[in-house]
Structure 1
């Protein structure tokens, strides 16, 4: 949060984060301008995360905190197990995406996160889009 002025006019001082701090977030899958039917709330939460990343980058960049928004494409996670509508989950629309495209693994996304975090302190990868080759 930015420093703020109290009623006495004195500025509150917040401690600086430790050197080489890094915030890595997973945002929307690529081309968030393309909407997929029945996933409106999911898409909205990912768009909010993209905006949050930009705001955090602006706020914390001057304190040497790097913020990376990683936007993975179709990835094999437990997400499909938590979809209430069977026609949308692993036995429905999501399953069809998996068959047609072939998803990334969670380990492959973790490798990208590790790469972003391992960059030198003065290097910030602000956005990384990673997707299966067949996903346009």
Structure 2
């Protein structure tokens, strides 16, 4: 296999799927990881990639996934998500546990496990998709914002720890992106999810994937440290113009 290998987590839909397609178009052999193997296989077949089942909340699943990836040049930590919108007073510990396991420990497991292979590539790149919630806090979002703050801190720490190594580090921080994110957050309530984007032209998964593909295809001495992107109508997590 002559194509460089890019690993994308959470690749069965949304930003992960779009990123897999964008990187394949740039000449990468994409290894797609997610829990929904049936969806992964279809996408992998379309982009001439490899589908491997992956649950980032399971150490054994991550270990098996890493064993199946012999080498890698790019890792896109995209697996993540939110559960619920409860206040601190009404916080659901199971929701918090899932968000921290997925967004924080999942990113840790994949990054730690693939770092030796990324370094060995001679030109590695770690991209972590966080959120504007990684530097903002908003009412009823403490579980998600705290997890994204932690994920961002983990990622930014890498920037210093990898100085002198042939690995770049890029954090991508999207604002409102219309995917299945809100449907999952609201436990399948499509009406409530649709209301999040009402009156707004949000970002699409392809918009974010374009940014990721741009970052990883810059010359190897160019490190795009932090890329924040939002719809034109969104100023912050809590300020949105609805037409």
TM-score (norm 1): 0.76
Change (3 A) 1:127 1:19: same
Q: How does 1:21-100 map to 2 (within 5 A)?
A: 21-29=124-132, 32-33=135-136, 35-84=137-186, 90-92=190-192, 94-100=193-199
Give 1:85 deviation, angstroms: 6.0
Change (3 A) 1:84 1:57: same
2:223 & 2:174 partners in 1: Cα distance? Answer: 18
Query: Between Structure 1 and Structure 2, whose CA radius of gyration is higher?
Result: 1
Confirm or deny that 1:117 pairs with 2:209: no
2:230 & 2:158 partners in 1: Cα distance? Answer: 24
Give 1:30 deviation, angstroms: 6.4
TM-score (norm 2): 0.45
Q: Secondary structure at the match of 1:115?
A: helix
Change (3 A) 1:134 1:39: same
Structure 1 match to 2:14 = none
Give 1:90 deviation, angstroms: 4.4
2:120 & 2:202 partners in 1: Cα distance? Answer: 36
Q: Please, what is the CA RMSD of the aligned residues?
A: 2.2
Q: Which has the higher contact order (CA 8 A, sep 6+)?
A: 1
Residues 57 and 65 in structure 1, CA contact (< 8 A), matched pair in contact too: no
> Number of matched residues?
119
Show CA shifts across 1:10-41 (max 9, x none): xxxx78431210000111226833x3222211
Q: Secondary structure at the match of 1:81?
A: helix
Change (3 A) 1:101 1:61: farther
